[in-house]
Copies of this chain bind each other. A is one copy, B any other.
């Protein structure tokens, strides 16, 4: 009698490999593809999405999964393979192939239109694409079914099992706490704390980012750094994890933050267990955990005083004309200015989650049928006024700022907040476990932190669920306490300086 697990594995490997090819189609579209290739690319993505869907919904996979699940001698890796594949397959079988194909094609065609719409601040250019994507995602949500409301089905794609009601509860606690922190800690005179005005040439910022990435442990033999309209990380598979960043001539810290953020994502992908390559158990467990890695490196490390101590001489060397006399403390203060601003990826740690609340509310309303796509820019302005106290002058820095919708990723944003909460919990634990951490970071020694993250998170792939992982590492369930306490302590101290 053959072991059904041994028959299942090659099928899972094939699905993984085809998904890797799909990742390259996506990376290339955002980084290297000429504009004229958009229509052909939509065809590639539609065909491959349909094939992956067919592979996953193949009845033989269902049978093998059931046979494997019925065995009582499964390794924990096999159990994770079954869990993750069952989840993905249960979703896939509910979706008609034609919808899968059309969503892939529509998203691929929407991406270049979003790029142009954002560059030209031309909402109308993007509007019909958003309308079509929302319509298709509504069909998807209806086909998937949900616990309470259609948006549940979309959240579940990125954070398995996450429900809208849970996010509502998280935000219900977080929102007043953030409002209080914003009230107390908004920097009175941000201009007084600005770094030298630049200009910082993109090529030099790119070189700086390469040095930073190399220092924190990113392996350029297994990746590359490019520039794209919106920074992102894409893994084509083990040994090929690429990041992009975006550089602004007048804002050095924005580029460093983007690089640290994507570097954090990439270190997670690069640290996944080689022994489980091409299996579901060997992949990242959830987007929430993924964002915990990006936000931990971006904020807890990158916006911390020890890191600024390491960064200061590097900036002085790279931009000698501007950074001659800038102290680590000045960089630290500039990196931690609290100031409501329209763009999420440039937001400080205190106001950042307000940007997520805004997107969550809009997405939820879209999928509850309370908001039509045409009403999004107005809703965006209204929320920006209400939650951030800002009047938006354009859509470029408003409803057009993020790439997620044009890729069909609705329900992704809340994972950033989950990531912030997880990151604060993991950070507390790491500081307990690594008492010398501050000195190490100040000396540019990132190895023991990376080693800790690898051991506790990266090397475990999907063997534990996100919730189990959190309990295993911190002894507690996900909560906002550590995050709020972290902001309170850091900005309280900054304010008292």
- By a beta-carbon cutoff of 8 Å, the part of chain A in contact with chain B is 13-14, 16-18, 20-21, 24-25, 28, 32-41, 43-44, 46-48, 50-51, 219-224, 236-240, 242, 277-278
Contacts and interface: CB of A to CB of B under 8 A. Distances in A.
Nearest to A219: B36
Q: Shortest 9 CB-CB distances between A and B: which pairs?
A: A37-B240, A40-B237, A36-B222, A36-B239, A17-B47, A17-B43, A21-B44, A36-B221, A14-B47
Given A14-B50, A24-B28, A44 B237 contact: yes
Given A24-B24, A24-B28, A51-B18, A40 B221 contact: no
A38 B236 CA distance: 11
Nearest to A270: B36
A354 B187 CA distance: 75
Contact of A18 (B20, B33, B47): B47
A365 B323 CA distance: 66
B224 A32 contact: yes
B40 A239 contact: yes
A221 B34 CA distance: 6
A41 B278 contact: no
Q: Could you say how many copies of this chain the assembly holds?
A: 2
A38 B35 CA distance: 27
Given A20-B44, A28-B28, 11 more contacts: A17-B47, A18-B44, A18-B51, A32-B224, A34-B220, A34-B222, A34-B242, A35-B222, A37-B222, A40-B239, A44-B236
B239 A34 contact: yes
A83 to B, nearest CB: 23
Nearest to A220: B34
B48 A240 contact: no
A14 B44 CA distance: 8
Q: Which of A40, A221, A222 has the most CB of B within 10 A?
A: A40
Given A28-B24, A34-B220, A278-B43, A48 B237 contact: no
Q: Which of A24, A219, A236 has the most CB of B within 10 A?
A: A24
A106 to B, nearest CB: 15
Contacts of A28: 24, 28
Nearest to A14: B47
A236 B14 contact: no
Contacts of A18: 44, 47-48, 51
Nearest to A43: B17
Contacts of A24: 24-25, 28, 44
A43 B20 contact: yes
A221 B50 CA distance: 28
A21 B47 contact: yes
Contact of A17 (B17, B44, B221): B44
A237 B28 CA distance: 14
Contacts of A220: 34
Contact of A41 (B36, B47, B236, B277): B236
A35 B221 contact: yes
A113 to B, nearest CB: 15
